[in-house]
Amino acid sequence: MDFPTLKKATNNWKETPNLKDYQKTYNTFAWETIRKELDGLPNNQGLNIAHEAVDRHANSAQATKTAIRWIGKKGNKRNISYLELKAETNRFANVLEGLGIQKGERVFSLAGRIPELYIAALGTLKNTSVFCPLFSAFGPEPIMQRLGRGKGSVLLTTTKLFKRKVQALLPQLPDLKYVLLADATEDVDEKVLSFARLMAAASTEFTIPPTNSEDSALLHFTSGTTGMPKGAIHVHNAVQTHYMTGKYVLDFQPNDIFWCTADPGWVTGTSYGIIAPLTHGITNIITEAEFDALRWFETLQEEKVNIWYTAPTAIRRLMRLGMKPKDAYDLSHLRLIHSVGEPLNPEAVVWGESALGMPIHDNWWQTETGGIMISNFPDVEIRPGSMGKPLPGIEVGLVQVEDSKITKVITEAGETGELALKPSFPSIFRTYLNEEERYQKCFVDGWYLSGDLAKRDADGYYWFVGRAKEIIKTSGHMVGPFEVESALIEHPAVAEAGVIGKPDPMAGELVKAFVSLNTGYEWSEELRLELMGFTRKKLGAAVAPKEIDFLEDLPKTKSGKIMRRLLKARELGLPEGDTSTLEK
Amino acid sequence: MKNTQIQQTILDILSKIAPEIDPATVDMGYSIQEEFEIDSMDFLRVVTAVDEIFGIAIPESDYANISTMDDMVAYIEEKIPV
């Protein structure tokens, strides 16, 4: 079914959008202009994300404005003004300095959305250390992989998560110097310390040291199809993209209240759940609780949210309510809704208009790009199902690649190619940590290759077609099949494992595994459950397979590589395509 | 149906989704998601199975009222046809 274009009423804006003329802004855009809208450190000492997000507002007339409104699981609230946020993040920077944590060392977090996480993130940036958030639903194996590969020096977590998931890993993490427990009042030993005690003893005064805009700031792990997760490094200069996309995509106005529902364990929850709104000096809502349909609408109503950034899985759950929230709740403050994580189906875009009073704007970007690259905009008509148009300052192309060479840059409308970006914007990742070769492979003939396939229509709108790689997207989160397969084959019964993304109406895809067994083992329901439990214990619910099936033999290439593509085609009853390399 | 039977049925469902969790270690007055370490997609599967087994339809808007085992048992007890 084709969905008609959604026109925008340009004469009754609640606020005039920052981006009024897309084409003109795109054509005349210069990053220098954005840089000038940021402060830079005093006395030309460089550019530091935390200064732009916190200190420059704390030092201004709006120091007492609420920077973060945190809503706990039980509905309890904590307002943190820019002035308080400056003092708290200064304290944490002093804590790190006191512990001897140097510039460039990695500070990890493994926690739910608690205030300490946000303070630690920004305090780490002030100390010019590198912040790396981990999703709290990860099991010990993904935590170990990321903390170990990232050579984390400090981990902020909670007592419960530490005991359940981290304590047993400590002997295998020689680089980890300190664990800070957000909820402990006393130190446990010389290594496991109380966050509160350290903070109470630390000064609220801190001067951010000179920071080169190319200094590392953030480390985000993302999953690949081969090998273990890759650690994408972003630098302080990325704040230009955070700020620019906040201005043009999320359309931040000075008095806005913004709610990004993403967890900082994923890049959206850091770029947009922490940094972008604060660089604009607006109020950022943070909710600790997990998804709850009615409570979410209550939050939109009670907090008078103006701009809302959420994800397709959540939107599809809200659609299931079968209600018109705009009639049941006062959503009159809401001005703009955005979605990211996976392509938003056109039904959901249109549902927004009828049920929430405005369409939902889809956008596209990746961990590696650090910020939104292609988007729908407040003042540009929406073609439901399209990811929109490139951001100002972002050059997007569709290319065909063969043998690591670009064979064609597509100019024709409607032709499919791999989505590629000219890597000349501030937030493009600077390396995969300790994997320079893997990093270099992402760039061919001056283009960054995204791994996503797309086409462009005659009017410049981009449409997602599929993924060039076998990466799994479940509830908007990337899961690397290799990481799951590696966990499965550690079980003595499993000979081989192949993992695919099985389409699911709610989650987009579910992680599904196929296994073959070693001699002496027989497939049974008991073994299936044992493998489910085994992988859940290792990987956690966010990564472990939801379904495991047995196959006598997994389809492999002649060189012995498991053909996940074929597993998926068979699972879905689709044509098997080219099987010339299949081992007979 | 007795409360204990309802609870056992839910535990049976959960034992297929989170088979490594020993129900004896679980606090029935706490969040099922946290106690069984399941994500929201898993929780959706639990609710779908409950719908099928007990022949009731739990709307998304009631999910907040069934977040703990005790709440879910009480909810089902009230809803199942006598």
Tell me the chain A residues in contact with residue B38 when contact means C-beta distances shorter than 8 Å.
541
Helix intervals (H) in A99-238: 115-126, 140-149, 159-161, 195-201
Interface membership of A137 toward B (CB under 8 Å): yes
Look up the CATH architecture of domain A32-452. Answer: 3-Layer(aba) Sandwich (3.40)
Cβ pairs bridging A and B (under 8 Å): 61
Strand partners, A252: none
- In angstroms, rounded to a whole number, what is the distance separating the alpha carbons of residues B51 and A137? 26
Interface membership of B41 toward A (CB under 8 Å): yes
Q: How far from A326 is each of A310, A352, A353, A356, B62, CA to CA, in Å?
A: 17, 10, 10, 5, 19
Give me A177's structure tokens: 């110097």
Nearest to B82 by CA among B1, B13, B5, B22: B1
Nearest to A164 by CA among A137, A130, A126: A137
- In angstroms, rounded to a whole number, what is the distance separating the alpha carbons of residues A151 and A143? 12
Domain boundaries, chain B: 3-18+27-79
Contact B20 A542 (CB under 8 A): no
Average pLDDT over residues A87-115: 98
pLDDT band at A1 (very low <50, low <70, confident <90, very high): low
- In angstroms, rounded to a whole number, what is the distance separating the alpha carbons of residues B54 and B81? 9
Domain boundaries, chain A: 32-452, 472-572
Structure confidence at residue A467 (pLDDT)? 79
Which of A141, A143, A291, A477 is most worth mutating to test chain B (most B CB atoms within 10 A of its CB)? A291
- In angstroms, rounded to a whole number, what is the distance separating the alpha carbons of residues A276 and A262? 13
Interface membership of A546 toward B (CB under 8 Å): yes
* More confident site: A404 or A37: A37
Please count the CA atoms within 13 angstroms of the CA of A310 that sit on its side-chain side: 25
Tell me the chain B residues in contact with residue A137 when contact means C-beta distances shorter than 8 Å.
37, 39
Structure confidence at residue A144 (pLDDT)? 96
Tell me the chain B residues in contact with residue A294 when contact means C-beta distances shorter than 8 Å.
61, 64
Each residue of A160-185: pLDDT tens digit? 999 999 999 999 999 999 999 999 99
Interface membership of A292 toward B (CB under 8 Å): yes
Nearest to B40 among A290, A294, A322 (CB): A290
Is the model's pLDDT at B39 over the cut of 70?
A: yes
- In angstroms, rounded to a whole number, what is the distance separating the alpha carbons of residues A51 and A37? 13
Contact A294 B64 (CB under 8 A): yes
Average pLDDT over residues A441-455: 95
Tell me the chain B residues in contact with residue A537 when contact means C-beta distances shorter than 8 Å.
20
Tell me: ipTM over 0.85: yes
3 state SS for chain B: CCHHHHHHHHHHHHHHHCCCCCHHHCCCCCEHHHHCCCCHHHHHHHHHHHHHHHCCCCCHHHHHHHCEHHHHHHHHHHHCCC
Structure confidence at residue A294 (pLDDT)? 93
Which CATH topology does B3-18+27-79 take?
A: 1.10.1200
Surface-to-core class of residue A538, CB atoms within 10 Å of its CB (0-12 exposed, 13-18 middle, 19+ buried): buried
Structure confidence at residue A523 (pLDDT)? 96
Tell me the chain B residues in contact with residue A318 when contact means C-beta distances shorter than 8 Å.
60
| Contact predicate A299/A310, CB 8 Å | no
Average pLDDT over residues B61-75: 94
Interacting residues of A492 by C-beta distance below 8 A, sequence separation 6+? A518, A521
Helix (H) / strand (E) containing A406: strand A405-409
Each residue of A8-23: pLDDT tens digit? 876 667 889 999 999 9
Structure confidence at residue A11 (pLDDT)? 65
Each residue of A491-510: pLDDT tens digit? 999 999 999 999 998 999 99
Percentage of chain A beyond pLDDT 70 is 98
Is the model's pLDDT at A559 over the cut of 80?
A: no
Structure confidence at residue A169 (pLDDT)? 97
- Considering the four listed CATH numbers 3.30.300.30, 2.40.10.330, 2.40.10.340, 2.60.40.1840, the one that applies to the domain covering A472-572 is 3.30.300.30
Structure confidence at residue A2 (pLDDT)? 75
Question: What three-state secondary structure class fits A65?
Answer: coil
Residue for token digits 């947009």? A272
CB proximity under 8 Å: A 447-486 to B: 474-475
pLDDT band at A136 (very low <50, low <70, confident <90, very high): very high
Interacting residues of A257 by C-beta distance below 8 A, sequence separation 6+? A69, A282, A283, A285, A303, A304, A305, A306, A307, A333
Helix (H) / strand (E) containing A109: strand A106-110
| Start-to-end C-alpha separation, chain B | 8
Question: What is the chain B residue with the closest CA to A546?
Answer: B17
DSSP state, A164?
Answer: I
* Angle subtended at Cα A418 by Cα A506 and Cα A581, rounded to the nearest 5 degrees: 85
Structure confidence at residue A478 (pLDDT)? 83
